[in-house]
Homo-oligomer: A and B are copies of this chain.
Amino acid sequence: MIFENVEIIDPEGTYTGTVEIERGRIARIIPKEGTSKYLLMPGFVDIHTHAHKGIDVMHASNKDLWRWAEANFEQGVTTFLPTTVSAPIEVLENLLASSGPLPPSVAGFHLEGPFINPTKKGAQNGQFIFPSAGKDLRRLLEYPVRIITAAPEIDGFEGLCARCCEKGIVLSIGHTSADYRTMQEAFQTGVRRITHFPNALTPLAHREIGATGAGLYLDFDIEMIVDGIHTSPEFVDLVYRIKGADHISLITDSIAAAGMHEGEYELGGLPVFVSGGKAVLADGTLAGSTLLFPQAVRNFVRFTGCSLPELAKVSSYNALKVLKDEGCTGKIREGYRANLVLLDREMNLLQTIFEGDRVYTSE
C-alpha cells in the first residue's frame, strides 16, 4: 500500500511525502517538495467510550465487541477501550470474564466506577456506586483493565492506587467531590490523570480551586469530551492554552445512541433521551455523548486553532502514552505499526488503515 504525496502529520511535525506500507508496518517514508490535499495522521484512539451504534459494553457479547471494532474503523478509531459504568462487582466481573478474545483494536477496558462519589454520579446509576474499594476489587484487576476511574475521597483509595500500580493499570480521577488538597494528595501519591475534565468534578472557585482548579494547576493529564455541549468552546480553548496539547486526550464518552437516530436509549440501567445531539437523563443531567471521534477532532481544531501535530497528540499519541503503547504506534515513522487515517483538509475522514489493511473508505 502506498500513499503518494500526502501531508504527513506526526506529533513531532508535518511535511509532505510518500508513505509505503508493508506487512502491517510503515516501511518507507520519502519526503517530497510541495503541498497536498490529503492529510495522513496516526489512527484515532478513544479510551473512554461506553457504546456505539446500539452496542453497549454493559450488554455486549464477544461478537458485539468485534462489530463495534468494525464500526469504529468508520470513525477512524484504530484503538479503543470499551468503558463500563457503575454496576455490581459480579456483573462487571462476568462481563470482563466473558468478553472473550478481544478484537485487535480493543486495547482492554476502562472501568468508570463503581468506586466513585455518589454526590458526583453524573449519569451513573447511584444504586450501583460503591464509595469504598475493598477486597472484592482484586478479582476485577485480573482482567485486561487499562484504566480505572475512581474518586480519591472513597475509602480504600490508597489501596486501589497501590494495586493498580502493581498491575500497570492507570488510575484516573473522576466523579469526585475532592477539594484541591485531596487532589494534591492524590497527585503526590502518583495519580496523574483526570477523567472527562471537568465534568463531574468540583468547580474552580477563587478561594478553593477544587478538582477543576487542580486539573489546571497541577501537571495532570486530562481527557475531554469536546462536543461543544459538555464544555463550551471558550472553556476548551482556555484549557488548551493553560495545559497545552501534550496533556489533553480527546474522548467520545459515547453511549449507544452515537451514530444512531435520536430517541430513547439506556445507560447503566437508566433511560437516556437523545435530541439535538444531546443525551440527557429524565432530570436533564448530561448522560454521555453521541459524539463521533472525527467530530471531536474537528471541534478541537476549530475551538483552539491548534496545529496539526498538536491534533495528532490529542487524538492519538497522548492516549497511546496512557496505554504505554506509544513505542510502535501514534507516530508516522518507519517501523511503526500502520494504524492511520487519511483525511481531507476539512478533516473529513476518507480512509482508515489498521495494521496495514484498508479497513474503511468513505465511498
Chain A residues engaging chain B, CB cutoff 8 angstroms: 180, 198-199, 203-209, 212-213, 216-217, 229-232, 234-235, 237-238, 241-242
- The answer on a CB contact under 8 Å between A209 and B235 is yes
Residues on B with C-beta less than 8 A from A216 are 238
- The answer on a CB contact under 8 Å between A198 and B206 is yes
- The answer on a CB contact under 8 Å between B180 and A209 is no
- Central interface residue in A198, A199, A231, A235, by most chain B CB within 10 Å: A235
Residue from the list B205, B229, B232, B241 in contact with A209, Cβ < 8 A: B232
A302 to B231, CA, bound (A): 33
- The answer on a CB contact under 8 Å between A205 and B206 is no
This protein's copies in its complex = 2
Q: Which 9 residue pairs spanning A and B have beta carbons closest together? A: A206-B231, A206-B235, A217-B238, A209-B234, A198-B206, A207-B232, A204-B204, A209-B235, A217-B234
Q: Given A203-B203, A213-B238, A241-B242, are A208 and B232 neighbors across the interface (CB < 8 Å)?
A: yes
- The answer on a CB contact under 8 Å between A206 and B180 is no
Majority SS of interface residues in chain A? loop
Q: How far is the CB of A15 from chain B (nearest CB, A)?
A: 33
Minimal Cβ-Cβ distance residue in B for A228:
B207
Minimal Cβ-Cβ distance residue in B for A238:
B217
Residue from the list B199, B205, B234, B242 in contact with A180, Cβ < 8 A: B234
A229 to B206, CA, bound (A): 10
- The answer on a CB contact under 8 Å between A206 and B199 is yes
Residues on B with C-beta less than 8 A from A234 are 180, 209, 213, 217
Q: How far is the CB of A228 from chain B (nearest CB, A)?
A: 10
A216 to B204, CA, bound (A): 13
Besides A209-B232, A242-B242, 10 other A-B contacts (C-beta < 8 A): A199-B206, A206-B231, A206-B232, A206-B235, A207-B230, A207-B231, A209-B238, A213-B234, A217-B234, A217-B237
For this complex, 27 residue pairs linking A to B, each with C-beta atoms less than 8 Å apart, are A180-B232, A180-B234, A198-B206, A203-B204, A203-B206, A204-B204, A206-B230, A206-B231, A206-B232, A206-B235, A207-B229, A207-B232, A207-B235, A208-B232, A209-B232, A209-B234, A209-B235, A209-B238, A213-B234, A213-B238, A216-B238, A217-B234, A217-B237, A217-B238, A238-B242, A241-B242, A242-B242
